[in-house]
A = this chain, B = another copy of it.
Amino acid sequence: MTTINDIAKMANVSRTTVSRVLNNGYASEDVRKRIMRVVEETGYIPSLSAKSLRTKKSGVIGVILPKISTETASRVVSGINEVVAKKDFQILLTDTELDKQKEIDYIRLLQSRHVDGIILLATNVNKQLTDTIEAAGLPFISLGQDLPGVTSIVYDDYHAASDVINMLVSHNHQKIAFIGVGEEDPSVGKLRRMGYLDTLTKYNLSIKEEWMAEGDFSIESGYECAKKIIKNSEGELPSAIFAVTDRMAIGAMEYLREQGFNIPDDIAVAGIGASTMSKHISPSLTTVDYFNKEAGEKAAQLLLAQMKKKKEKEKFIQTYRLIIRDSV
């Protein structure tokens, strides 16, 4: 490996000058040319470890995902990347596999790698997590969960869920079942469920335990939840099922189709997420678009801004859009 010292020697200048030329180009015409020629010839690439050690900046931003291979995650990452790549930052990717200890470990790891900032897609929210973030003292953005003390971009889960119910009611549905996830996840688990419950209450519709089931984000769990709901409510079947994610909605549709139910005539289905699939299955799935990529872009922009100038915690609510399709 050629180093800055080699270049300096070959160009007959000090390494100080080489560094300056490469960073701001400050030098006499003559010297600059001489240096650049040597750089070209040798194919010299500066060591970013050395640079980072000295400057405390790495040009890397850390992204912590709950799970890499989901459509949401990949859209968000794509949005983030689009923004940061323009400023010559790269992304260091970590995957917690939904393990809350790893969320914390990775923050510390990224810190030790001197990343310039972190974007976290949290699933669990707890004190230890926020303490670790606090201690890291890095520019930090939380996406998808509102973290105390941390600038957050959140989806409007409550109103999105609520709007889905509004829409179902306006389609004359009175008996609406629910497929949710665990409450450790404040956004998807709690808020969406609250949106569902509160809106039913608003319309004075009955809330039945038998019409509620809890899955784990997977298509299969959606299938199982639908089965459970249908089995448990022999007397009175729901006329619609609202699943808090598209994948679970799609699993539910599969079960219903298998059982000979017509969607939407016998039972309507709605999800959240605007997955590619939702558009292309049949009947196409009514869902909520959360603009994940835009959220990723926004997160990246906020992070870059925060890297320039530390700011107070802010909270941004990402807009959403209800997409009404054939499944209702």
What residues of chain B lie closer than 8 Å to A254, measured between beta carbons?
280
Identify A74's interface contact among B58, B68, B113, B250, CB under 8 A. B68
Q: Give Cα A60 to B108, complex, Å.
A: 15
A53 CB-CB contact with B under 8 Å: yes
Given A111-B45, A281-B282, the answer on whether A92 and B95 have CB atoms closer than 8 Å is: no
Instruction: Scan A38-61; emit 1 where CB is below 8 A from any B CB, else 0.
Output: 000001011111101100001010
Distance in angstroms between the alpha carbons of A135 and B108 in the assembled complex: 34
A27 at the interface (CB under 8 A from B): no
- A13 interface residue per 8 A CB criterion: no
| Docked pose: A93 CA to B296 CA in angstroms | 15
Q: Which chain B positions have C-beta within 8 A of A81?
A: 68, 93, 95
Interface hits, A73-102 → B, CB 8 Å: 73-75, 77-78, 81, 85, 90-95
Contact A49–B53 (Cβ < 8 Å): yes
> Which residue of chain B lies nearest to A68 when distances are taken between CB atoms in the complex?
B78
Determine whether A190 belongs to the interface, using a CB cutoff of 8 Å to chain B.
Answer: no
Q: Which residues of B contact A43 (CB under 8 A)?
A: 135
Q: Taking the complex as formed, is A10 at the interface, i.e. its CB lies under 8 A from any CB of chain B?
A: no
**Would you call the interface of chain A mostly helix, strand, loop, or mixed?**
helix
Interface presence of A276 (CB below 8 A): yes
Task: Say which size band chain A's interface belongs to.
Answer: 35 or more
Please list the residues of chain A having a beta carbon within 8 angstroms of any beta carbon in chain B. Answer: 43, 45-50, 52-53, 58, 60, 68-71, 73-75, 77-78, 81, 85, 90-95, 108-109, 111-114, 135, 219, 250, 254, 257, 276-277, 280-282, 293
Residue of B nearest to A73 (CB): B74
Q: Are A91 and B93 in contact (CB under 8 A)?
A: yes
CB < 8 Å: which of B45, B70, B78, B113 contacts A108?
B45
Separation of A95 and B77 alpha carbons in the complex (Å): 10
Q: List 28 A-B contacts (CB under 8 A).
A: A45-B108, A45-B112, A47-B53, A47-B112, A48-B112, A49-B58, A68-B77, A68-B81, A69-B75, A69-B77, A69-B78, A70-B74, A71-B71, A81-B93, A85-B94, A90-B92, A90-B94, A90-B109, A90-B113, A91-B93, A92-B93, A93-B93, A219-B280, A250-B280, A277-B277, A277-B281, A281-B282, A282-B282
Partner among B53, B74, B91 whose Cβ is within 8 Å of the Cβ of A92: B91
Report whether B112 and A95 are in contact in the complex, using a CB–CB cutoff of 8 Å: no
Contacts of A114 in B (CB 8 A): 47-49
